Amino acid sequence: VQLQACGGGLVQAGGSLRLSCAASGRTFSTHSMGWFRQAPGNEREFVAAISWNGGSKYYVPSVKGRFAISRDNAKNAVYLQMNSLKPGDTAVYYCAADKVPLRNVLVIMAPLYDYWGQGTLVTVSS
C-alpha cells in the first residue's frame, strides 16, 4: 500500500480543513487506517483511527468532537475532517495503514502502522 496525504494549509483558529489520503494497492480495504501528527520538536502522536470496514473509530481526547475520520474503500481513500481548529493542532499530519490486515481492534501506537504517507502541513493561526 502506498499513501499520499493532502489537504493541509493555513487556517485561522476556529476554521476547518479536510485532509485526504489516497491509497494505492489492492489491500487497502483490509487495513485499518490512522492519522498521526507531528509538531516541531514533538514526537509523532496518534490522532484518529478507523477500522478496515469503517465500523469502528477512535480519537485522541484532544480532538474528539472536533475531528471526524472516515473512509471510502471504493475510492481507496481515508479522510480527516477537522473543525474548530486550534493553534495547538498545528503539525504535519500523516496517514498510515495498520500493519496487520483485518485486525479486530484499533491500535494507536505508531510502530504498529506501516505504509506512511509523506505528510501534509496544517498551520492554525491565532
pLDDT, one tens digit per residue, over 29-44 is 899 999 999 999 999 9
Comparing CA positions, the residue from 122, 117, 39 lying closest to residue 77 is 117
Strand order in the sheet with 67-72: 2-6, 17-24, 77-82, 67-72
Contact between 22 and 76 under an 8 Å Cβ cutoff? The reply is yes
Greatest Cα pair distance in the chain:
42
pLDDT of the residue at 87: 97
pLDDT of the residue at 116: 84
Percentage of the chain modeled with pLDDT above 70? 99
**pLDDT tens, residue by residue, 90-120:** 999 999 999 999 988 999 999 999 888 889 9
